[in-house]
């Protein structure tokens, strides 16, 4: 983004110190949340570029934010699934290289961690205990798993045990609980801390909420009070740099995790890095700049997939997010959602009113699907006890088969 798109008032006082995740010092205390089908190498590259710009605007330098790849399963890693191995690939500019792993089995989790660290494929491992998707929770995985405290403890301990000799920190991402009556985050946070996790991140919603309603930031504050020796990160309803600053002020958290807020808006990392460095720089691009970013994202996706058609198909889901609030017209939007080549994308962009200014509030706020509250799909009798029964152990043993492609 050009200087014309931002306000340049800089103050000298950072809002938070750099984030310490094990041996890694993250200058801007911001984490890109892993999102399925989104946070591949191409999107991480864009976000990293804008995060670096934000640090410079704030007068700082060094490692920018932490950019986490989309979730892969421990089973798929151990089996060296081709698609999964591509997903965990990183560009030469990426450091720390961050991989999020989903697992329901301590043995497989440990084997996956061993592969990542002994083959030098990751500098940081994040464990997913927050996924609310029914195909995951109905087998006891994701946000359903911390309810079974000893299984949760065993998975964290197994991964930490494999990663520690290589100085690869392990972090835990989780939700408040399964629903309002089955809250797990405080106990899970203390267990993760006790088993050697380098940080814990809380999406302040239950699995039953999915992405609906409002995140309960007070839960982040309570987790921060309960977990005292490692950083606590807050996640949920951060749509702007101002939201991130407000979360820190209200909860005392050590950093923020940003997911849907950066969809179609990778320059949010400029805003965030600048804000935490004490700068008021904010990016307000016109349509010419936004479509330039869209085009660059498409080119990065083509490079990532090694196939122009696949890359252009992948960019389609991002188009509505990029154009949110702009007067692009329904016909052009529809045509953009069908692009199958970079030339077709160029032709469509060329026909748009590229001088349209940043639309302000219309382009801000929530993006991505919010959905609605629901009853969480769980294995039979899952909530009867926090210990696994023999039957539930069988169900959990099959959990990764449903998502083993990564």
Instruction: Say how far apart CA 289 and CA 354 lie, in whole Å.
Output: 8
- Reported as type and span, the H/E element at residue 238 is none
Length of the chain: 406
Provide φ and ψ at 182, rounded to 5°.
-135, 75
> Which distant-in-sequence residues (6+ apart) come within 8 Å of 182 by Cβ?
147, 383
Q: Look at the alpha carbons of 250, 255, 259, 264 in this order and tell me if their dihedral is positive or negative.
A: positive
Catalytic residue among 131, 253, 262, 312: 131
Q: Which residue has the tokens 């930490």?
A: 160
- Report how far Cα 265 is from the mean position of its chain's Cα atoms: 14
Q: Is 131 a catalytic residue?
A: yes
Strands 98-102 and 124-129: parallel
CA atoms within 13 A on the CB side of 103: 30
Contact between 181 and 218 (Cβ < 8 Å):
no
DSSP per-residue string spanning 94-162: -SS-EEEEE-S-HHHHHHHHHHHHHTT--SEEEEEE----HHHHTTT-GGGGGGSHHHHHHHHHHHHHH
Interior/surface letters 324-353, b for 16+ CB within 10 angstroms, e for the rest: bbbebeeebeebbeebeebeebeebbeebe
For 2, 220, 266, the CA distances from 275, given in Å and listed in that order, are 17, 20, 15
Instruction: Say how far apart CA 52 and CA 7 lie, in whole Å.
Output: 17
For 57, 60, 281, 291, the CA distances from 374, given in Å and listed in that order, are 43, 44, 40, 37
Tokens of 281: 């720089």
Residue numbers annotated as active site? 131
């Amino acid at each position: 983004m050009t200087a014309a798109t931002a306000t340049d008032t800089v103050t000298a006082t950072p809002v938070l110190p750099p984030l310490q995740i094990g041996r890694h010092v993250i200058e801007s205390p911001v984490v890109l949340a892993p999102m399925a089908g989104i946070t591949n190498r191409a999107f991480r590259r864009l976000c990293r570029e804008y995060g670096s710009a934000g640090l410079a605007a704030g007068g700082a330098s060094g490692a920018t934010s932490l950019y986490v790849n989309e979730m892969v399963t421990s089973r798929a890693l151990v089996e060296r699934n081709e698609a999964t191995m591509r997903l965990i690939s990183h560009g030469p500019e990426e450091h720390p290289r961050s991989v999020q792993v989903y697992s329901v089995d301590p043995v497989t989790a440990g084997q996956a961690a061993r592969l990542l660290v002994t083959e030098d494929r990751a500098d940081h491992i994040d464990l997913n205990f927050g996924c609310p998707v029914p195909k995951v929770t109905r087998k006891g995985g994701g946000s359903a798993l911390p309810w079974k405290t000893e299984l949760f403890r065993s998975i964290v301990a197994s991964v930490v045990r494999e990663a520690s000799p290589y100085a690869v920190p392990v972090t835990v991402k989780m939700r408040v609980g399964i629903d309002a009556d089955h809250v797990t985050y405080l106990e899970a946070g203390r267990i993760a801390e006790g088993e050697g996790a380098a940080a814990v991140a809380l999406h302040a919603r239950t699995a039953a909420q999915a992405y609906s309603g409002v995140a309960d930031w007070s839960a982040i504050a309570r987790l921060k009070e309960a977990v005292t020796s490692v950083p606590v990160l807050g996640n949920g309803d951060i749509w702007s740099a101002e939201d991130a600053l407000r979360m820190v002020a209200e909860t005392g958290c050590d950093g923020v995790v940003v997911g849907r807020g950066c969809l179609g808006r990778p320059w949010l990392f400029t805003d965030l890095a600048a804000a935490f460095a004490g700068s008021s720089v904010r990016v307000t691009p016109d349509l010419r700049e936004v479509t330039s970013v869209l085009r660059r994202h498409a080119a990065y996706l083509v490079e990532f997939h090694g196939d122009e058609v696949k890359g252009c198909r992948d960019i389609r889901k991002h188009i509505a997010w990029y154009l949110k609030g702009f007067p692009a017209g329904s016909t052009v939007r529809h045509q953009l959602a069908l692009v199958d080549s970079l030339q077709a994308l160029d032709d469509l962009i060329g026909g748009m009113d590229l001088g349209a200014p940043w639309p302000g509030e219309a382009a801000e706020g929530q993006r991505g699907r919010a959905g609605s509250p629901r009853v969480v799909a769980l294995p039979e009798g899952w909530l009867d006890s926090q210990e696994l029964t023999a039957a539930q152990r069988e169900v959990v043993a099959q959990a990764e088969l449903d998502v083993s492609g990564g």
